[in-house]
Amino acid sequence: MITFYGTGPAFGLPHASPFAIKTEVLLKMSGVEYRSARADIRKAPRGKLPWIDDGGKIVTDSRMIRHHLETVHGADFSGGYDREPQGIGLAVERLCEDHLYWINVDNRWLRPENFARGPVHFFKQVPALIRPMVKARILSRLRAALYGQGTGRLEPEEKRHLVGLGVNAVADIMGDNAYLLGPRPAGADATVYGFLASLESPFFDTPYGEMVRARPNLTAYLARMRSEYFPDHSV
Ligand SMILES: N[C@@H](CCC(=O)N[C@@H](CS)C(=O)NCC(=O)O)C(=O)O
């Protein structure tokens, strides 16, 4: 039995982490039996979540978890699509994970009002005496990571422009399809759902949610994915 370590529901989402939402959708798509456990980031095997424990084999990173489900459990995330649409799906996944993700992290963690609304609560388990120090250390690490990645050097208007390009590209690729690539869900949908739902979350003060909601096909898609993969998750 697989144990899946995610963040658990937060911010009106099935998980605080889009990578955890993605991974749980992949697990559900695969049909493999699993149980969920709340991850303690201090115990994360590579310092990042999510991860899984499959009978003692630890697999970290949502991309490697997908690979594990395919190679060890015979999961098929192709959705039955040809290689070309699958290639488009992979490119869209990386657009979400390596680009939109960072702008969303910047918005959640480095805008003080959003940090106070959400991420600050992650520090509740830290003893009160050292909490301010730990918080300051994590924020400074994150600021450095965002600066290194590049997002930290952009003006708000530039970030909005880039999110608009990314969101509209996904909406245009999806068109009238029920899922990203056509009438059937594929592995790419786990990612697209995780990251678009996170970007759209009205829990945070953000200009990005409106960009997602401005595209009716994305709004319908988020509702469809949520009712199919997280029917019990009510917010
Ligand atoms: N490539 C990884 C990325 C995972 C990731 O960045 N997780 C974030 C949470 S959304 C994390 O654990 N960050 C903690 C850190 O970087 O210290 C995946 O696909 O799982």
Atom 1 of ligand 1, residue of closest alpha carbon: 61
| Domain spanning 2-73, CATH class | alpha beta
Asked if residue 233 has pLDDT above 80, the reply is: no
2-73 and 83-229: identical CATH topology? no
> pLDDT tens, 131-175?
999 999 999 999 999 999 999 999 999 999 999 999 999 999 999
Mutate to test the pocket of ligand 1, among 4, 19, 64, 191 (most ligand atoms within 8 A of CB): 19
Confidence grade of residue 3 (pLDDT, cut at 50, 70, 90): very high
Q: How far is the CA of 204 from the centre of ligand 1 (A)?
A: 20
The bridge status of strand 34-38 relative to strand 2-6 is parallel
Model pLDDT, residue 234: 61
Identify the three-state secondary structure at position 205.
coil
Answering whether pTM is above 0.85, one says yes
More confident residue, 234 or 18: 18
Answer yes or no: is pLDDT of 205 > 90: no
Separation of CA 143 and ligand 1 centre (Å): 15
- Nearest 5°: CA angle at 79, between 77 and 83? 90
Whether the CB-CB separation of 103 and 163 falls below 8 Å is answered with: yes
The residue ranges of every structural domain in the chain are 2-73, 83-229
Residue 200 and residue 217: Cα distance in Å, rounded?
13
- 121: β partners: none
Cα-to-centroid distance, 88 and ligand 1 (Å): 23
In this structure, the residue with its CA closest to atom 10 of ligand 1 is 17
Percent of the chain at pLDDT > 70 equals 99
For atom 12 of ligand 1, the residue with the nearest CA is 48
In the reported structure, the alpha carbon of residue 14 is separated from the centroid of ligand 1 by a whole-number distance in angstroms of 16
d(CA 156, CA 180): 28
Pocket of ligand 1, beta carbon within 6 A: 17, 19, 47-50, 61-63
pLDDT of residue 125: 87
100-137: pLDDT as tens digits: 999 999 999 999 999 999 999 999 989 999 999 999 99
Cα-to-centroid distance, 176 and ligand 1 (Å): 32
Share of the chain above pLDDT 90, in %: 97
Using the predicted structure, report yes or no on whether residue 235 has a pLDDT greater than 90: no
CATH code of 83-229, in short, is 1.20.1050.10
Amino acid 146: pLDDT: 98
- Report the b/e string of 91-130 with b at 16+ CB within 10 A: ebbebbbebbbbbbbbbbbbeeebbeebbeeeeeeeeeee
Query: What pLDDT is attached to residue 158?
Result: 98
23-80 pLDDT, tens digit per residue, is 999 999 999 999 999 999 989 999 999 999 999 999 999 999 999 999 999 999 999 9
Name the percent of the chain in helix, strand, coil, to the closest 5.
60, 10, 30
Identify the pLDDT of residue 137: 97
